[in-house]
Structure 1
Amino acid sequence: MKLAIPYDNGQVFQHFGKTEAFKIYDIVDGKVGPSMVMSTNGQGHGALAGLLRGLGISAVICGGIGPGAIEALQSLDITPIPGITGDVDQAAQDFVDGKLVPNTEALCNHHHHDDGHSCASHTCGSGGCHAH
């Protein structure tokens, strides 16, 4: 299977729809196998689910993510695992080891507010964007 994680300088990037890169892992025989960092080439939000499906991704570990992105991923048989922070390699290992605990509170529901709020201004995965 293939696993993707929004990537920024070795960490889980905390806004799925604005990630500039994914770290892609091959999970082979229950172990983390080869990986590579892949640019999104400026694609965002709605286009990312299709990009990941085209790569054969089965699951996405992420920080903050909106309900529309979750629905888009699920419609393509990609399992979203939200609310994860920290080192991407450790997150991939925790996934394989069955230790990864999704935080369904990490949903970004405010992207179109007129109050100037942006996910980029904070860490979506810490308590969830919906708290704003």
Structure 2
Amino acid sequence: MKIAVPTYNGEIFQHFGSCPEFTIFTVSDDGFLDVDIISNTGSGHGALLQVLYDNEVNALLCGGIGGGARNGLAQLGIRLFPGISGNALEAVTALLNGTLTYDPNASCGHHHHHEEGGDCHCGEHGHHHEHGDDCHCHH
């Protein structure tokens, strides 16, 4: 089983469509966990879906995700676990243990822009950050 998580510095990145990288956890039948980090070189959910498909991913754990990406994942047969924040390894471990808490309705439906590039603590998704600052939304 392969589980992908959009990440930044080991934490779950809250914007699927603009994640800097994926951490892909490969779980063998005996429970062995192999970890690969793949940089995001594309843009938009279409390119990201191709990365997941090319890496034979079975499940995606993420923060916010838009409707187009949700539909694409469904078409590819990739299980979706949205609305997650925190450490990626801890989330994957919780999934494997059957204790993962996630929000099946988490989405990216709101757009706003941070002119000065400050951190966002808004709880909304699909917004833009200048100067490389990260969003710390938890939805």
Are 1:50 and 2:55 matched, yes or no? no
Q: 1:119 aligns with which of 104, 108, 127?
A: 127
Unaligned runs of 5+ in 1: 127-132
Secondary structure of 2:48's counterpart equals helix
Tell me by how many angstroms 1:42 deviates: 3.4
Tell me by how many angstroms 1:15 deviates: 0.3
Question: Where does residue 24 of structure 1 map in the other structure?
Answer: 24
Q: Deviations over 1:1-29 (max 9, x none)?
A: 11100010110000000001000011112
Q: Which moved more, 1:92-101 or 1:27-36?
A: 27-36
Q: Deviations over 1:8-54 (max 9, x none)?
A: 01100000000010000111126351101110113332221122011
In 1: Cα distance, 2:81 partner to 2:30 partner: 18
Question: Where does residue 70 of structure 1 map in the other structure?
Answer: 70
Over the matched positions of the two proteins, sequence identity in percent amounts to: 37
CA 1:125/1:71 → structure 2, altered by over 3 Å: closer, same or farther? farther
Alpha carbons 1:85, 1:125 under 8 Å: kept:
yes
Count how many residue pairs are aligned between Structure 1 and Structure 2. Answer: 123
Relative to the length of structure 2, the TM-score reads: 0.79
Question: Where does residue 110 of structure 1 map in the other structure?
Answer: 110
Alpha carbons 1:31, 1:96 under 8 Å: kept:
no
Relative to the length of structure 1, the TM-score reads: 0.83
In 1: Cα distance, 2:84 partner to 2:5 partner: 10
Unaligned runs of 5+ in 2: 115-125, 130-134
Q: Deviations over 1:53-103 (max 9, x none)?
A: 111000000001111111111110111110000001101101110111221
Alpha carbons 1:22, 1:40 under 8 Å: kept:
yes
Are 1:99 and 2:99 matched, yes or no? yes
Give the letter for the 2:127 counterpart. C
Secondary structure of 2:59's counterpart equals strand
RMSD (CA atoms): 1.9
